[in-house]
Amino acid sequence: MYRSTFIIDKNKYKVWYAAVNNKRQWHVSYVEFKKDEIENL
């Protein structure tokens, strides 16, 4: 089971994704969006 948090960085047009698993290990990654896509969020 994962708890997840999304952080939208509109300056860099990235959505940071952080998830922690049962062992309290954090996994951080990001997804890049185009400018028009992130402005529609």
**Pick from 31, 10, 11, 9: nearest CA to 19:** 31
Taking the C-alpha atoms of residue 16 and residue 5, their distance in angstroms, rounded to an integer, is 8
pLDDT at position 27 is 62
What's the CA dihedral at 32, 33, 38, 40 to 10 degrees?
Answer: -140
pLDDT at position 29 is 65
3-state helix/strand/coil string of 9-27: ECCCCEEEEEEECCCCCEE
Q: pLDDT tens-digit profile of 7-23?
A: 666 666 666 666 666 66
Q: pLDDT tens-digit profile of 18-40?
A: 666 666 666 666 666 666 665 66
Count structural domains, the chain: 1
Taking the C-alpha atoms of residue 25 and residue 14, their distance in angstroms, rounded to an integer, is 22
For 14, the domain range is 3-39
